[in-house]
Structure 1
Amino acid sequence: MEFRNETRVTQFILRGLSKNPNIQIIIFAVLLAIYLLTLAGNLLIVVTVHVDSQLHSPMYFFLSILSVIDLSVSTVILPKFLVNFISVHKAISFNGCVAQVFFLHFFGGTECLHLSLMAYDRYVAICYPLRYTTIMNRRTCLLLVVLTWVLGFIHALAQAFPATQLLFCGPNEINHFFCDTHPLSVLACSSTFVSEMVDIVNSGTLTLTCFLVVSISYAYIISTVLKIRSSEGRQKAFSTCASHLLVVTLYFGPLVFMYMRPPVSLPGDKMVSGFYTILTPVLNPVIYTLRNEKVKKAMKKLEGRTHINLIFI
């Protein structure tokens, strides 16, 4: 009742990373290059896995799905961010802001769950190699992927819906380069207790569950690998997990910092957020291709096919 005479905010201004015009030009060029590399790198992995029959296994199927998710996360954030660089009025509508929160947490939550699924896949492959193809059959893999997307959707709904119930009556400048639950809560002129509790419980539960699944999977993996007598066998087993373990570390570190704490704005929030929304999606294809000979060979074969097709065309 006390807000009845207040003017409700219908749009927000995204402050971005810098107001210095010279710095903005540099940031724009760097982020545009990163986005194009993200598109190219992840699309290349998806196409390579689809085309090369030798990569038609659960490990590479999950890798291609990860690339689709990374593409989606970047596309939720970067196009709007880049448009704002060349716009005089760096605004986003209220509905657009809520939609960005929803899709950010939809793809972000799905990626968190998917990385846990990839850890479980490596656990089955190393700890139960003789039963691997039986356990991780095509139907099971598809069901597990669908489950991660459904849970990601539920997580996103739980994050975005409380934001729609908050009242915003000014100021409307978000101290960030995209819409998220923490920066929005700071601007609300109604009680944020419920949305803050939902945010902490929902994001905290998801992050902690995924972290435990990954930790337990790798605890069993390490225990099994250490029992292998051959040093070559141990090295081969560890090499199949090293890329995924590096990606998990790069992804979960920022998530724990951002979402397993009260919703307050900290000076390092923009940098940490940029790490898992901008840098991780462009780094993942590099990490997986540089450490995986099978993927590199498949990409060379794809390049050769493309070159031959262009000659005939």
Structure 2
Amino acid sequence: MSLTKPHRGLLLVLALLVILTLAACGPKSSGSIVEGKVNVVTTFYPIYEFAKEIGGEDANVINLLPVGVEPHDWTPRSQDIINTSKAQLFLYNGAGLEGWVPNFLKSLNSDSKAKAVEVSKGVDYIMTDEEDGHDHGGEEHAHEGEEHADEEHSEETGTDSLHTDPHTWVSPKSALVMAENIKESLQSVDPEHESGYEERYNKLAERLQALDSKFTTELAKLPNKEIVVSHQAFAYLARDYGLKQHAIMGLSPDAEPRGQDLLDLAALVKEEGIRYIFFEELVSDKLAKTLAGEAGVETMVLNPVEGLTTEQDKNGDNYFTLMEKNLQNLILALQ
């Protein structure tokens, strides 16, 4: 049966309604544009928290990544493009974490004055031959800074297969660099409140320095240094505080390990006397529990602080409470 034009038109309208309804059902970002304030859009939780603390009453901060969502495979919605187009500042981690950023920035309204800032810039990046598993939207859209970092390192090592580890914020030392970048970006778009941003940044920096000092002191006392984690998110933490990370999966928590890799890790766990396999709450703990069962050990949380669970959000958890829990769990596991 052939459809008349009115029928075809009706079907098209219904199809569009279904698409729009499905899009509206997805998890939403936090907040909306506020007139008369500096509007700051952030890509995921740690940047959001630091921007909120430094911005204080002078800034309205909107986080794109919804509560309970893991950032590696998340992509923005149309409303996120609209909000960012109206904002003064767009803060993203960079180092390859948000592969969607180049195309996202191209999608902003032509009259948008949003300043995009890569807040991990200046961190001493860790390079790895592990696949990052992120969708970069094609090599031609790679971020210029990330591309340069990879090329520079490739020239030194003679290989073009290295990737930047993006998990910079998991070390308080790197978080300090990121916080300063956020402060300077706020001052650049809102010089009128420069002193307020400086004052609030100094308070945040003191807390990060205290956390850094605590990690340094407490972890130096421990006899064991080897940790086995679900995905390779703790290289900066390991480098800065004298630990050695063994990961079940690569830079992305979606990367599937080979069976032989799990057997090799199980052998390492037994050989080194490792008592715990660390997992994280925003991704499946199935592989961590499989390895723990194979090696005859227990599991424990080590949080990469990529986002909050719904429960953590309700409980008022933040970067500092989660990092303190990480430290206590590391102390317990490495004694």
TM-score bucket (shorter structure): under 0.3
Structure whose residues are more often strand by fraction? 2
Structure whose residues are more often helix by fraction? 1
TM-score by length of 2: 0.25
Which gives a bigger RCO, structure 1 or 2 (Cα 8 Å, sep 6+)?
Answer: 1
TM-score by length of 1: 0.26
